[in-house]
Amino acid sequence: MSNDFDNALTPSERKLVASLTTPFKIQTFLDDVPYSGEERYRCPLTFLRDRTGHCFDGAAFAAAMLHRLGHPPLIIDLLPNRRDDDHMLAPYKHGGHWGALAKSNFSGLRFREPVFRSLRELVMSYFEDYFNAAGEKTLRAYTAPLNLNRFATWRTDDAAMDKIADRLGEIRQFQTITPQMARRLSPMDKRAYDAGLLGVNEAGLYQPPK
């Protein structure tokens, strides 16, 4: 239940949360929060209070806020090859179509309008923008959606984030491209590369091995 989260809020926090009345307003809040390069997980309450976090923290917070708007609190893990970090989405459905919210160090890996007919369509909309610091397109798979309500204290307990991460490593995965396709991929265009890294926090940028 969300009562533990609501009961923990201060009056100013309650006012802020109450103002997040649309997916786009939630995304705007995510974008305004600085990206963190720390190797730690923050639950939604800690994310709200620290006002910093990475994609995992932001997706969990977005899922919590989407749940307040009547959506299931879902997350999907986008999985790269071995030369990049994974990336987390909080998908939601409106009018029979999928959209997503996300916190990212890359400008192209954030909000998606709910215009996609399937989760695969939604995930593949991130393909061209999913690249590493070497300019390689790295998205290779994604997980089935995980409902965070399976974890009793996920809104207020940082330790629950570790359990969520463990579960994401166990659930079904779907491939985005074949190995043959991967071998034919072209590098990022410099303009697209520069646009994707606009405002990047260098401390949180994964560096692939040489």
Q: What is the CATH number of the domain that holds 187?
A: 3.10.620
Instruction: Give the span between the Cα atoms of 108 and 62, in whole angstroms.
Output: 17
With contact defined as beta carbons under 8 Å apart, do 81 and 183 qualify? no
pLDDT tens digits, one per residue of 76-126: 999 999 999 999 999 999 999 999 999 999 999 999 999 999 999 999 999
Q: So what's the pLDDT on residue 139?
A: 98
Q: Does residue 2 have a pLDDT over 90?
A: no
Q: Is the residue at 59 inside a domain?
A: yes
Closest residue by Cα to residue 36 from 103, 108, 112, 134? 103
pLDDT band per the 50, 70, 90 thresholds, residue 1: low
Q: Is the residue at 34 inside a domain?
A: yes
Q: Is the residue at 124 inside a domain?
A: yes
Which range of residues forms the domain containing residue 185? Answer: 3-200
Q: Is the residue at 206 inside a domain?
A: no
Mean pLDDT within 151-173:
97
Q: Is the residue at 121 inside a domain?
A: yes
Q: So what's the pLDDT on residue 162?
A: 97
Mean pLDDT within 5-17:
97
Q: Does residue 210 have a pLDDT over 90?
A: no
Q: Is the residue at 207 inside a domain?
A: no
Name the percent of the chain lying above pLDDT 90. Answer: 97
pTM (predicted TM-score): 0.96
**Residue 109 DSSP symbol:** S
Count of the separate structural domains present in the chain: 1
Q: So what's the pLDDT on residue 3?
A: 84
